[in-house]
Amino acid sequence: MDKRIEEINHLILEIANGNFDHKLEISNEFDEVDAIVAGINMLGEELKASMIAKRYLKSIFEGIVDILIIFDEHLIIRQVNQKAVELLCFDQSQLIGKPLSHLFPNSEKKAVKTIKSKLSGQGFLYNKETYFRHESGFVIPVSLSLSVLKDHKDEKGFMLIAKDLKQALLTANALKQKNEELKTLVYKVSHDLKGPVASVLGLLNLAEMADDDLPTIKKYLSHIKTSLDKLNHTIVGLLEYSHALQPDNDTTIIYIKDLFIEVIQGFALYPGGNEMDFRLDIPDDLTMKSGKKLLMSIFQHLIENAIVYRATFKKQAELKITATQDGKNIVLTFKDNGCGMENQVASRAFEMFYRGTHTSHGSGLGLFITKSNVERLGGEISLSSKIGVGTQVNLLLPSLSGSEISITK
């Protein structure tokens, strides 16, 4: 008997430690001790089934890709999933036990009143758009859906699922911006192509009427050349914009200093290119994974701008280019001592077809294409300028990942 009692104690300890598969054999006599053993064995089976169900529910709970929060009838948060922790950047200890209002910024406290009203009335709420607050103080746009939960004791609780709308809003805003750009493109193309063509046709008619008046004909031809130059700038800009929209799979490991040297050499015969003093402060071994065509286009536009808008009254026009590593990003700075820009011009420099002055001869697409290419690479660009001092352009470009990478040097 003592041995059976010892076995039963051991069985209870095993079950308490979570070993629910541990069981005792039941004798053929099926006496009182066997009845106790059978009951403990059944308890182990029930606990095992319960634990499997809990684990299953927990895996579902944690597998939901949206924020999931359980709160009680007093609107106190009782449980949150891992997605809530990741997106809101709060620890679970900073959320569990807190009132539901803790999730909302001050400007959205009325959302809690809406939740109370809906749950006390209909018992559910679908797709209520509002904002959650991030641990850093920022807000996150979300769409809320709520429903009532009841346990086996018929005690009430509530489940809240919040879908992160940040990416959807970014996509919608990007689409809206592209639509505006398309409208601008259609208008400007019709204007910038129609104007020079009409001018050329008119000047040709005047030239035909000039008969043998060679000086007058030469004057008209000079005006025709000016109009055709403007037309050519527009067409070249549109072609480049079209190329910028094409996918770029040319992902390579690029030696940044070597690429700058290659681009600068391409400006050797460019008007004013030989007047610039290019200063490169870039480590020889600094590399990044990126799209070479897009990167080269960015460098070409920024260097061309520095040449075109150099200050000719100074002894030496300079462009200093620096590049440094910052984690997985490359930080680049283009600093010239050119003529600079007014604040209102600098603030619009990246707009499509924007020309800072009436004397600008470009298509107005250069810096717009540059910004588009930087964003396609997942980077950021900013510009500061001062009249008579110069312009500085700052770039932050991520080093892209890729499974098949070739080396460009």
Give tens-digit pLDDT for 99-123: 988 888 888 878 888 887 877 776 6
Q: What's the rounded Cα separation, in Å, for the pair 123 and 72?
A: 13
Of 197 and 273, the one with more pLDDT: 273
**Residue 251 · residue 257 · CB < 8 Å:** no
Q: Comparing C-alpha atoms, which of 313, 295, 312 is closest to residue 303?
A: 295
Q: How many residues does the chain have?
A: 409
Q: Comparing C-alpha atoms, which of 391, 396, 369 is closest to residue 381?
A: 396
Give Cα separations from 329 to 227, 332, 335, 378 (angstroms). Answer: 43, 10, 19, 10
β 390-398/380-386 pair status: antiparallel
Phi/psi class of residue 8: alpha, beta or left (left: φ > 0; alpha: ψ in -120 to 50)? alpha
Structure tokens at 332: 């680049």
Q: What's the rounded Cα separation, in Å, for the pair 313 and 258?
A: 31
Per-residue b or e along 117-148, where b marks 16 or more CB atoms closer than 10 Å to that residue's CB: ebbeeeeebeeeebbbbeeeeeebbbbbebee
Flag whether pLDDT at 292 surpasses 90. no
How high is the mean pLDDT of the chain? 79
**Residue 333 · residue 394 · CB < 8 Å:** yes
Q: What's the rounded Cα separation, in Å, for the pair 28 and 300?
A: 92
Flag whether pLDDT at 199 surpasses 70. yes
Q: Comparing C-alpha atoms, which of 7, 4, 1, 2 is closest to residue 22?
A: 7
Give the sign of the dihedral formed by CA 252, CA 256, CA 257, CA 260: positive
pLDDT value for 394: 95
Mean pLDDT score, 310-327? 86
Q: Can you name the residues that pair with 195 across neighbouring β-strands?
A: none
Residue with tokens 């000719």: 312
Q: What's the rounded Cα separation, in Å, for the pair 365 and 372?
A: 10
pLDDT band at 63 (very low <50, low <70, confident <90, very high): low
Per-residue b or e along 345-356, where b marks 16 or more CB atoms closer than 10 Å to that residue's CB: ebeebbebbbeb
**Residue 144 · residue 91 · CB < 8 Å:** no
**Residue 361 · residue 225 · CB < 8 Å:** no
pLDDT value for 388: 86
Structure tokens at 61: 């709970």
Neighbours of 81 (CB within 10 A): 21
The SS3 call for residue 395 is: strand
Q: What percentage of the chain reaches a pLDDT higher than 90?
A: 17
The SS3 call for residue 333 is: strand
Mean pLDDT score, 253-268? 93
CA angle 60, 62, 68 (to 5 degrees): 100
Q: Where are the alpha helices (DSSP H) in 68-159?
A: 82-88, 110-120
pLDDT value for 51: 56
Query: Which of 8-17, 36-45, 49-58, 219-228 has the highest mean predicted lDDT (pLDDT)?
Result: 219-228
Give the end-to-end CA distance of the chain in Å, rounded to a whole number. Answer: 85
**Residue 362 · residue 233 · CB < 8 Å:** yes
Give Cα separations from 100 to 69, 70, 77, 159 (angstroms). Answer: 9, 10, 6, 12
Q: Phi and psi of 62, rounded to 5°?
A: -80, -20
